Amino acid sequence: MDAFVGELRLFPYQFVPLNWALCDGTLVPVQANQSLYAVIGNLYGGTPGFNFALPDLRARALVCAGDDPVDDFDPMVAQHGGANAVALTTAHMPPHIHNYQGAQSTLAVRVQEPTGNLQTGIYFKGNPSGTVAAFGYTQDPAPSPVQLNPATLTPFVGSGSGTGNPHENRQPFLAMRWCICTEGYFPTPP
């Protein structure tokens, strides 16, 4: 099988083919794998000159390294991130409203006679010799909010839902083996 040293491939087998190594983060001695070390070095961990780590692709999704013109996510080669589970908080929730429906009841309401918003004037025609005073209410230009006494509402006890536990955050997947080529053509940079 022709491949470049350091090339990654997916295999659907229960074994790792000859001249390939499983991408499971294993530390490998430099002396036994000099050509692979020359290609990836200690990008994925290890002690320089002594050993190096293979990429750990167990339960990982790969993304392309480089600048993303759409947003500020610009991962570098060998950078990893993400989480298998996420706990959501109220900061993650969109703005929303909960409607409250109180208990239905009849309440006695006392309204004071309004002052300062009465209008007088000619309201009726037909009496040419004078005017008839008529009083009426007009809309208050700046209505004030009404404060209700807490005793006027039936006590409402709300109950929260949920436990705050993290939820699984993985996309649907199909498991195969990611392997890295250890023997093959040596890649030459441009």
Return averaged pLDDT per consecutive 10 residues of the chain, 190 residues in all: 93 96 97 96 96 94 81 83 80 72 54 55 51 51 61 55 72 90 92
What is the predicted pLDDT for the residue at 167?
Answer: 76
Straight-line distance from the first to the last Cα atom of the chain, in angstroms, rounded to the nearest whole number: 24
Rounded CA separation 81/88 (Å): 18
Please check whether residue 8 lies inside any domain of the structure.
yes
Please check whether residue 39 lies inside any domain of the structure.
yes
Q: How many helices (H) and strands (E) would you count in the chain?
A: 1, 9
Please check whether residue 87 lies inside any domain of the structure.
no
Please check whether residue 114 lies inside any domain of the structure.
no
Q: How many CB atoms lie under 10 A from the CB of residue 48?
A: 10
What is the predicted pLDDT for the residue at 171?
Answer: 81
What is the predicted pLDDT for the residue at 60?
Answer: 85
> What is the count of structural domains for the chain?
1
DSSP letter, residue 43: T
What is the predicted pLDDT for the residue at 142?
Answer: 59
**Containing domain of residue 27, as a range?**
1-61+169-190
Please check whether residue 69 lies inside any domain of the structure.
no
Please check whether residue 129 lies inside any domain of the structure.
no
Rounded CA separation 148/151 (Å): 8
What is the predicted pLDDT for the residue at 180?
Answer: 97
Please check whether residue 186 lies inside any domain of the structure.
yes
What is the predicted pLDDT for the residue at 98?
Answer: 66
